């Protein structure tokens, strides 16, 4: 069985994104959102456990929501109100229940990037 992990890197400060709240939603065929998990990144910018473990890992559409505005405010970064990026929402599909899906996030106060990692 597969599983889902994530990792946050703060490219503005050149360090892992520590203590960033992360929420995972499953998206229904009617576009409804079901909260599956909430966690916080550790000092390495990773979550201590898979965001979606093997027993719940199913084919479908998901959203990872990262609270990056709170993270930057906590670092003392002066953000405009409203912040350009407050929550980063990544919608992606899981097509193969046997694979490991890794969804990294690279952030700064004004940009982000993601990809399917390994």
Q: What is the pLDDT of residues 59-85, one digit of tens each?
A: 999 999 999 999 999 999 999 999 999
Binding residue per annotation — 115? yes
Binding residue per annotation — 73? no
Rg (CA), the chain: 14
Q: What is the pLDDT of residues 75-115, one digit of tens each?
A: 999 999 999 999 999 999 999 999 999 999 999 999 999 99
Domain ranges, ordered by start, for the chain: 3-114
Report pTM: 0.95
CATH 2.60.40.420 fits 3-114, yes or no: no
HSE-CB of 44 using CA atoms within 13 angstroms:
5
Neighbour order of strands in the sheet with 88-94 = 33-40, 21-27, 60-66, 88-94
Binding residue per annotation — 7? yes
The predicted pLDDT at position 114 comes to 98
């Amino acid at each position: 069985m597969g599983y889902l992990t994530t990792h946050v890197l703060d490219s503005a400060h050149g360090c892992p994104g520590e203590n960033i709240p992360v929420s995972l939603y499953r998206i229904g065929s009617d576009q409804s959102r079901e909260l599956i998990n909430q966690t916080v990144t550790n000092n390495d910018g990773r979550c201590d456990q898979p965001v979606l473990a093997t027993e719940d890992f199913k084919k479908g559409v998901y959203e990872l929501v990262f609270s990056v505005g709170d993270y930057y405010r906590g670092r003392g970064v002066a953000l405009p109100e409203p912040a350009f990026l407050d929550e980063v929402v990544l919608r992606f599909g899981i097509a193969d229940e046997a694979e490991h899906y890794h969804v990294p996030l690279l952030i700064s106060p004004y940009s982000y990037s993601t990809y399917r990692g390994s």
